[in-house]
Every structure is written in C-alpha cells, then in structure tokens.
Amino acid sequence: MARIGVLALQGNFAKHAAAFEELGERVVEVRHTAPLEKLDGLVIPGGESTTLLNLMRDEPWFEALRDYHSRGGALFGTCAGAILLSRRVRNPEQPSLGLLDAVIRRNAFGRQVDSFETKIALDASQQRLTAVFIRAPRFVELGQGVEVLARLGDEPVLVRQNLVLAATFHPELTRDRQLQRMFIDMASERVASGNDDSRHPAADSIPPGLAAERQRRITC
Ligand code: GLN
C-alpha cells in the first residue's frame, strides 16, 4: 500500500487528508521534513503560497522536498501547491521548487471572477469532473515533458510530469475522487517496483551520496 502524506503547514490539508481516507488510505499529516523519508506520495495543498514559503523557513524544506522527489516520491500540488512545484512563478516572482517544468502566474483570473466552479473533462477518458477554482493560478508555459491531463477551454488545469501531478483547482472540495485515485496509483507504482527509484528519470541527477543511500534502501 502506498504511504500518502499531506503537507500540513497551512491551507486545506485536512480536507485533502479526509479525501484520501475515504478511499481507505492512512494519511500522515506532514509538519516536519523527517517523515518525508517514509512516504510514497505527498500532497501539497492549496492555501497561500507566500505564507507557505514563510512557514517553510523553519526547516530546510526545499532541500528535503527535492531529495524526496529525486528518490522517486510522488507529489501532487493543488493551487498554491502547484505554484510551489513550478519552475518559475509570476505575479509576482517568488521562489519555487522547480520540480515541474512550468511557468505559472498567480491569481491569474482577476478579481471579477476570482473564484468559480465549473465542469472539466479529463483528456484521456473524457470523464467529467467538477473543478473549484479559488484565486487560482494559470499555467502560462509548459515544458515538453509536461503532459496536459485536463483543460478549461484551451487552458491546461491539470498536468503531469513523471511523478509530479499539479492542478490549479481544488479536488479536495468536491466529492469526486478520480484524482485522488490517480495519485494513489502514481505513488503505488513506486511501491510495486520495490521503491526502485532508478526507474525514475530524475534519479539520474541524484548526487553520489544520495545514490549510495538509495542503494542501501533498495538492498535492505
Ligand atoms: N492565490 C493563492 C496563491 O497565489 C493560491 C490560491 C489557492 O491555493 N486557492 O498562492
């Protein structure tokens, strides 16, 4: 079974945890970097990305999350979480993890329509789902390795790059659990492969010290 955690520093983490628990998962609320070691999937919830960045100053979160990613841990960022994962943030510029090859613009729907609910469809299955957008960002550029899984009109609102899934809306606020299932599957791939993160492309960039640690993890 995949071990799912929800970053619980700020924002909508309790609803995310409840959504995964509905599916029978035991969810860890992650308030420190150490528990990342034991996870296969981590949700970074919506909230306020600047506040989240401030709270992340207490521990070396960027380093820990990048290490977690390079060890093959899956990440699901929603709204502020998607902002944090992106390569570059606009409106205004701010630091980000750069684990998703995307440029994202904060609060990009303007004041008039800053929150709304609408139906979108998954590109692959045409399954429809309700998407709630709250002061949502927009992806303004996507790298070639980023796959668009759902759009609003022509605009990407759900994207995936390897083990990173990102939505500009709030899947924890609706009853549909398709995206939670999708993320459990992503995190489970790693479990099925015996945590062998050498399958993961980012593993190529693991520095030698970590690679040795990975070797220990695989063999023990
Ligand atoms: N507007 C927020 C930000 O820029 C994101 C909003 C949300 O997560 N619902 O961080």
pTM here? Answer: 0.87
- Amino acid letter for position 152: L
DSSP state of 71: T
Domains and their CATH numbers in the chain? 4-193 (3.40.50.880)
Compute the residue count for the chain: 220
The protein residue whose alpha carbon is closest to atom 5 in ligand 1 is 80
Instruction: Extract the residue ranges of the chain whose pLDDT is less than 50.
Output: 196-220
79 annotated active-site: yes
Instruction: State in Å: Cα 51 to ligand 1 middle.
Output: 10
Q: What is the Cα 9 distance to its own chain's centre?
A: 15
What pLDDT, on a 0 to 100 scale, did the predictor assign at position 1?
87
Ligand 1 site, residue 106, Cβ cutoff 6 A? yes
What pLDDT, on a 0 to 100 scale, did the predictor assign at position 114?
86
User: Does residue 121 contact residue 152 with C-beta atoms inside 8 Å?
Assistant: no
172 annotated active-site: yes
Ligand 1 site, residue 215, Cβ cutoff 6 A? no
Ligand 1 site, residue 12, Cβ cutoff 6 A? no
Tens digit of each residue's pLDDT (9 = 90 or more) over 115-133: 999 999 999 999 999 999 9
Tens digit of each residue's pLDDT (9 = 90 or more) over 53-79: 999 999 999 999 999 999 999 999 999
